[in-house]
Chains A and B, each alone.
Chain A
Amino acid sequence: MASYAGELNPQQVPAVRVTSLHRSFNEAGGVLNGLDLDIAPGEFVALLGRSGSGKSTLLRALAGLDRGVAGTGVIEVPEKVSVVFQDSRLLPWKRVLDNVILGLRAGDAADRGRQALAEVGLAGRERAWPHELSGGEQQRASLARSLVRDPQLLLADEPFGALDALTRIRMHTLLRNLCEVHQPAVLLVTHDVDEAIVLADRVIVLDGGVVRHDTRVELDGRRSQADPAFARLRARLLTELGVEDDHDAVPGRRLDQRVAS
């Protein structure tokens, strides 16, 4: 994975720079409280956090979709930003190819769309209606729609959250390959610690509206859960998230913990 790992060095201009970002939905308290974040060009960042930690709020702020939300701070993002949503969000009344090239202003839009579909393994399905595709295929089509725009920044909000476990593993491989080819900076919001470690160059844990933990994934080659370094990182991240990985613990202890939390 080191091949597509964008190294953050001081000379480089970051793809994303967020400075002291505040966002709040009501007077009670902020969702984001002075968050700072840099993402290097081509760097794959996974964003972990408990529900309500502000992951999606941050992503929507970067995507420019948080009109009407009160807040302050400075956000610098590249010109070409693509968003992958949790639902594939294909327009049901457009065929797959027309969905992929929607709003694409280029003479060879159809050709590029076909190429993007081939890249995600959907060659030959150009004329299908979205409802004829499986959940995984729909999400692949939505990936094609994002990549055909050559984004400098790809924002993904739990893109595989609604897929079954096996499809998800296949999608991980696909996304990794696509990122190696297209080299966008990526911010992936996820609940899944394993997914974060498998995919990302850097994992960030959000808590209380600020970056609480920021770690590089220093695993070479194929990232396997059997690797002890993988397991150590996983345990550390889970601790940061306030979860103890206690599959082996005695049942009584687990119960106590649940009551306590």
Chain B
Amino acid sequence: MTTLTAPARPLAAPEDVRPTRRRLGPGEPIRFGGLIGIVTLLAAWVVGSATGLLDPRTLTEPWTVLQTAGTLIENGRLQESLVTSGIRAALGLGLGVLVGTVLAVISGLSRVGESLIDGPIQVKRSIPTLALIPLLILWLGIGEPMKVITIALAVFVPIYIHTHNGLRTIEGRYAELAETLGVTRGEFIRHVVLPGAMPGFLLGLRFAVTSSLLALVVVEVINATSGIGHMITLASNYGQTDIIVVGLVVYALLGVTADAVVRLIERKALSWRRTLAS
């Protein structure tokens, strides 16, 4: 009868007894984790300025920067500079992406093309594009063509390298399949080569966007007559820290936006991929 009178286990929670191991990975992701560092930095800036720890001559107060941005927008200088800089970067980026992709496809699909193209590009890669600016100024003057071509030269290398690599890592069995299906060279490029090289191309594009902004800053600061860089250079001459900071913020926004756009394209274009991240 002891079995009947024995005190019953509390009915509340079903038992959960299991062996556990110490976690070695980073664990659960934090919500909005990417923003925390940025917010902390901004807060430090606000506090530093408010308490007087940050000299306004070193770094303007955040509210002054906002005010200056407002004024610059009101008199139209900021928009005008942004449009000029944006068009410059877009033209250079577009030209560089086009040239880089075409060269990568030619060099990836033909041995003759590879022999002719790959060597010079590897040499070009070892010369920083910015070191070419003096020569480009001699050849093209200090006008827009020089600026666009400098940006394009900085852009096409990462596009070429990553697209070429992506193309060369397409598995040979897909080429074999295409051969048995009797597709033409054009169809092969359109249906197999380009989509297969797309992950590499998009990685290259992310590097390319960063390179294009870097080149943009340099060409605008060196030979400025318009654009964000020109605005910053002028402000530097007159000791206007607030305008410089506004210019830097705009550069940052340009970079972040461009990166977000590339990542969006990546998500759309690579929806066929099932990776660890998904």
Contact = CB atoms under 8 A, between A and B. Distances in A.
A85 interface: yes
Interface size for chain B: under 10, 10 to 19, 20 to 34, or 35 or more residues? 20 to 34
Contact of A94 (B182, B195, B198): B195
A28 to B, nearest CB: 25
Interface of A: 63-65, 81-83, 85, 87, 89, 91-94, 102-103, 129-131, 145, 149
13 contacts: A65-B176, A85-B177, A91-B177, A91-B192, A91-B195, A93-B198, A94-B272, A102-B178, A102-B183, A103-B182, A103-B183, A129-B271, A149-B181
A93 B181 CA distance: 17
A33 to B, nearest CB: 25
A103 B187 contact: yes
A63 B176 CA distance: 10
Going nearest first, the 5 A-B pairs with the smallest beta carbon separation are: A103-B183, A93-B195, A103-B181, A83-B180, A93-B272
Contacts of A63: 180
A81 B181 CA distance: 9
Contacts of A83: 177, 180
Contact of B179 (A65, A91, A92): A65
A103 B274 contact: no
Nearest to B173: A89
Given A85-B177, A102-B187, A103-B178, 18 more contacts: A65-B180, A81-B180, A82-B180, A89-B173, A91-B174, A91-B191, A91-B195, A92-B272, A93-B196, A93-B198, A94-B195, A94-B272, A102-B178, A102-B191, A103-B191, A129-B272, A129-B274, A130-B272
Contacts of B178: 102-103
Interface of B: 173-174, 176-184, 187, 191-192, 195-196, 198, 271-274
A63 B181 CA distance: 11
A118 B192 CA distance: 25
A193 B192 CA distance: 36
Contact of A92 (B181, B183, B184, B273): B273
Contacts of B174: 89, 91
Nearest to B273: A92
Q: Which of B177, B183, B187 has the most CB of A within 10 A?
A: B177
A36 B179 CA distance: 26
A129 B177 CA distance: 18
Nearest to A90: B177
Q: Which of B182, B195, B196, B198 has the most CB of A within 10 A?
A: B182
A81 B183 CA distance: 13
A83 B174 CA distance: 13
Contacts of B176: 65
A46 B191 CA distance: 33
Nearest to B182: A103
Contacts of B195: 91, 93-94
A94 B225 CA distance: 48
